[in-house]
Chains A and B, each alone.
Chain A
Amino acid sequence: MTAERWITVALGFSIVASIGLVVTYLLGGQAQVEGMLLAVALGGLGAALVIWAASLLDAKPESEEVHPLASPQTAREAAWETLSPDEITRRGFLLRLMAGAVAALAAALAIPALSLGPQPGRALFRTDWQGGARLVGADGEPVRVADLGLEAVRTVFPEGHVGSPDAQTLLIRVRPGDLALPDGRADWAPEGCVAYSKVCTHAGCPVGLYRAEDHALLCPCHQSTFDVLRGAVPTFGPATRPLPQLPLSVDADGYLVATGDFAEPVGPSFWNMTHADEAED
């Protein structure tokens, strides 16, 4: 088949497909049909052009000279003369003062960029947890120890702050005898109910996976793994700090309550995190 015939066929397909597209749209549209018709409409036209270029045009290669682009020295000197006439270059002091003024103005104009966001202050050092806050589930209902089965895991929040991103906490029930918490935390996990911040200490993703038999919390983003029985210390992956633990106790009605906020900042590290005392709001 000659090139002309191919081009005719390609353009024919293209026209039919374009009409088909209009019809499909008017009939209500369908993603797969639209995609295929669009492909034929575009492709037919494209193929026609390419075949035209390949077969019907003159095939002789042509040549063009390439000269070095650098201008001759005389032209450069003339250009420099035009760019910096004596009236400007002579006034050294004024030029320097002008440069200083422009820099100062630039700084002044840039400063409103600070309106884009507030100062961090103490925001990274605290969450919505405080002593006496009851643990509630995502539905807002407080959690009773008796209702929490062994090997159950739940996401909990301080009462009144359901959905709080930095207060999100994992509540897990294990056998009390299996726990090997760090010193001083023996009373943080009543009846085997242990709570850790859900915000990964590596890059802040919620640590959403729990392997019940291994008592291991896994973060899906970069696979940091934390040992629930030993205070959520990292056992694999790029996280270096354990998940902060929330101290718990049980109130008179059998509900779980926090006895304070987390002891260290939740989530990923930042440069001055060991200087909580210096941060001001």
Chain B
Amino acid sequence: MKRIRLAALAFGILAVIGLPSLGRVDAQGEPELEPGSPERGEELFIVACATCHGRQGRGAASGPAITDAGAASADFQLRTGRMPLAQPPGEQPLRKPPAFEEQAIRDLVAYVASLGDGPPIPDVEIDASLSRGMELFVANCAPCHGATGAGGAVGGGALAPALDQSSPRIVAETMIIGPGQMPIFDLPGEDVSAVASYIEFLQTSDPPGGFSIGNIGPVPEGFVGWFVGMGLLALLAYLVGRDWRKAGG
């Protein structure tokens, strides 16, 4: 009898500890994610964002209003780690590891979306037409981001960043919101998917010609031509040209 009571007590203790997590544990034991909650987002926002962006995102001395930024903008900024800023405002924010976990990002995005009527997170489909994607990429994206998406300097101290880490969702979001110096490219949905598909192709395809030396064209090719090509050949000329017997070789 005593053993049964002990067992029941143990079971009860375990149940009390374990129950709250029952609803939030999936098959692998990871916490299951819920859609973003504006209420939880507001709490996070007050702590992490309101200092610069003001209450309810209405703007403050050191940050612009984000009432019409929308889910797309918030998702982009938080997922690529650009926000919260790690440097003084004014410099171009660049990608860094995100400061928030996935659930926190969803909550913040939901909250920012509720502040006004900015663009929602777009739907993107991969395996859309690679060919249409390349056409659009070359016409719209390559001038700033480079033909291979390696990034580029666009003057005025601004950089069009490399696209090697941009997921299709991020690509779609940036085209809609045009963050920072980037203009808006509001193409129809299937064109956006096509561009995202092509960017994914650039990220995953192997260069058929061998090592791609930085992928930015004739400048690195010229350096390699001189230092590797001419360098090796000059060395060979020296080795072939010297008198080995006189030098004791």
A and B in direct contact, judged by CB atoms within 8 A: yes
Which chain A residues have a beta carbon within 8 Å of chain B's beta carbons?
Answer: 31-32, 35, 50, 54-55, 59, 138, 149-153, 155, 172, 206, 208-214, 216, 218, 220, 223, 225, 236
Residues of chain B within 8 A (CB-CB) of A32 are: 210
Select one of A50, A212, A214 contacting B240, CB under 8 A: A50
Question: Would you list 27 pairs from A and B whose C-beta atoms are within 8 A, ordered by A residue?
Answer: A31-B210, A35-B210, A50-B239, A50-B240, A54-B249, A59-B243, A59-B246, A138-B139, A149-B184, A149-B186, A151-B183, A152-B183, A153-B183, A153-B184, A153-B185, A206-B143, A208-B142, A209-B143, A211-B158, A211-B181, A212-B180, A212-B181, A213-B181, A214-B156, A218-B155, A220-B152, A225-B155
Can you add 14 more A-B contacts, CB < 8 Å, to A31-B208, A54-B245? Answer: A31-B210, A32-B210, A50-B239, A50-B240, A54-B240, A152-B184, A172-B183, A210-B183, A211-B156, A211-B181, A212-B178, A214-B156, A225-B156, A236-B155
Alpha-carbon distance between A99 and B180 when the two chains are bound, in angstroms: 71
Q: Which of B136-183 contact A (CB under 8 A)?
A: 139, 142-144, 152, 154-156, 158, 178, 180-183
Total chain B interface residues with beta-carbon distance under 8 A: 27
In the complex, the chain B residue whose C-beta lies closest to that of A35 is B210
Q: Are A151 and B178 in contact (CB under 8 A)?
A: yes
Q: Which of B208-246 contact A (CB under 8 A)?
A: 208-210, 239-240, 243-246
Which chain B residues have a beta carbon within 8 Å of chain A's beta carbons?
Answer: 139, 142-144, 152, 154-156, 158, 178, 180-186, 208-210, 239-240, 243-246, 249
In the complex, the chain A residue whose C-beta lies closest to that of B144 is A209
Alpha-carbon distance between A32 and B144 when the two chains are bound, in angstroms: 31
For the complex of A and B, 6 pairs with smallest distance between CB atoms:
A208-B143, A211-B181, A212-B183, A153-B183, A152-B184, A218-B155
In the complex, the chain A residue whose C-beta lies closest to that of B209 is A31
Residues of chain B within 8 A (CB-CB) of A212 are: 178, 180-184
Alpha-carbon distance between A112 and B152 when the two chains are bound, in angstroms: 47
Q: Are B181 and A220 in contact (CB under 8 A)?
A: no
Smallest CB separation, A39 vs chain B (Å): 11
Q: Are A216 and B156 in contact (CB under 8 A)?
A: yes
Residues of chain A within 8 A (CB-CB) of B209 are: 31
Residues of chain B within 8 A (CB-CB) of A223 are: 155
In the complex, the chain B residue whose C-beta lies closest to that of A138 is B139
In the complex, the chain B residue whose C-beta lies closest to that of A137 is B187
Alpha-carbon distance between A150 and B119 when the two chains are bound, in angstroms: 14
* Residue of A59, A213, A225 with most chain B CB atoms under a 10 A cut-off: A213
Residues of chain B within 8 A (CB-CB) of A172 are: 183
Alpha-carbon distance between A211 and B154 when the two chains are bound, in angstroms: 7
In the complex, the chain A residue whose C-beta lies closest to that of B135 is A138
Alpha-carbon distance between A55 and B244 when the two chains are bound, in angstroms: 8
Smallest CB separation, B248 vs chain A (Å): 12
Residues of chain B within 8 A (CB-CB) of A55 are: 244-245
